[in-house]
Structure 1
């Protein structure tokens, strides 16, 4: 489907009835990547409701970023809301992982009273903590442009995974390396550079989001710190927060999201 002059690949499945759920993936991920390793299993969610997923601009089977600004989270929210409109959805719940969380927060203001709820999974760095992460993404983009992905893979080998994956570090690192190698380097550099200019909406705008909000974070990940989840919970008036530090806790996320959506 053509959305804001970009072909967006999307998947729309599940029965009509309850509030539809629109899900956005993380930076450098895609629908296909999430099918292989879902933090939240949308195949379970769509047994009870309509679930819309899509490859964000510059990712997966969707079209390229025309400029780095198109990779900013507020721009990606414009794509998301136009897709929601094009599919004829009225009242919706919106969520996502990392970049998908940030996109959902920007979409909230655009959707207004049409927003029924939010699911924010592994919220990334934001506000005061964003600048350092943005510099890192600029460095990563430059490395990929000049040397390819192998230096990134080698450089990340010494970085511990998020706490739920510590018991199987080798598998986590192998999966991360496979994902980087599977992505076209030009596109990968472009989305990294797009992320350098991205941030959450202003804090007062986030504080105005009053819909029920489920926040799922994990510990041990500087790129998705628990502090962001805590800050969102402090700022937003209607939140439920759960922090996963083990694989068993992570495994509850799908059922938590399913139950949360059922109550909207």
Structure 2
């Protein structure tokens, strides 16, 4: 499966992996910024998001990313992941550490921590809305839950459009199970920064602490103004952090 993607610029590679609330469009501003700074930037859509069709057979997001990198001749990159993209990024860096020059995890999800009550409550409400056919309600729930207070109304509408697209693609397809292999965060060798948002759900604060503890040498930073999607909520405050990290890795 070749994921829909954008590849722009020249220079050292940076891979931007999107949240499950969004698609690769969430990184369009940061992609342009990195290209201008002299980097080659890859933004894929995972299967079932954006312009990538929903999976029709067993799949694994991490393997999809590796296949895409192989097809493009990208041997090594800084990998940046938001939420679900952060989960995929940490697993990729654990399984193929030599291919990751730096790892930036932004409000990352993980398979290593059981859901907390706040996440279970969100999931139950979303399931109930979708089962009732209330896609508008499910979209509004996601925007309300995942977009922090610093975001503009325009940003909220943008996230809503991306989430709606994901629902349209996924609801039109049948359920297909993902196949995911085990991994060990202790195998990560890349310089790692774990970023969290003060206004995010408690679950993601716990994940950030776990990742910072288990990834060797990882540093952590909490953004006191951010919710779950800081690069969208206030890019003027997020972008310098991103550039600082990438430049620190690539020089």
Indicate the residue corresponding to 1:226 in structure 2. 205
Indicate the residue corresponding to 2:6 in structure 1. 11
Number of residue pairs matched? Answer: 241
Q: Does the aligned pair in 2 maintain the 1:244–1:250 contact within 8 Å? A: no
Indicate the residue corresponding to 1:144 in structure 2. 130
Instruction: Give 5+ residue unaligned stretches, structure 1.
Output: none
Indicate the residue corresponding to 1:52 in structure 2. 42
How many angstroms apart in 1 are the aligned matches of 2:122 and 2:107? 18
Deviation, structure 1 residue 102:
0.5
Indicate the residue corresponding to 1:85 in structure 2. 70
CA distance 1:107–1:138, change in 2 (3 Å): farther
2:97 maps to 1:108? no
TM-score, scaled to structure 1? 0.75
Structure-to-structure mapping, 1:54-73, within 5 angstroms: 54-66=44-56, 70=59
2:182 maps to 1:187? no
Deviation, structure 1 residue 12:
1.0
CA distance 1:159–1:52, change in 2 (3 Å): closer
Deviation, structure 1 residue 59:
0.5
3-state SS of 2:138 partner:
helix
Deviation, structure 1 residue 185:
3.2
Indicate the residue corresponding to 1:43 in structure 2. 32
Deviation, structure 1 residue 124:
2.6
3-state SS of 1:128 partner:
coil
CA distance 1:78–1:135, change in 2 (3 Å): farther
3-state SS of 1:32 partner:
helix
Deviation, structure 1 residue 198:
9.3
Instruction: Give 5+ residue unaligned stretches, structure 2.
Output: 227-232
Deviation, structure 1 residue 164:
4.0
CA distance 1:194–1:235, change in 2 (3 Å): farther
Q: Does the aligned pair in 2 maintain the 1:105–1:200 contact within 8 Å? A: no
Indicate the residue corresponding to 2:148 in structure 1. 162
CA distance 1:180–1:87, change in 2 (3 Å): closer
CA distance 1:219–1:82, change in 2 (3 Å): same
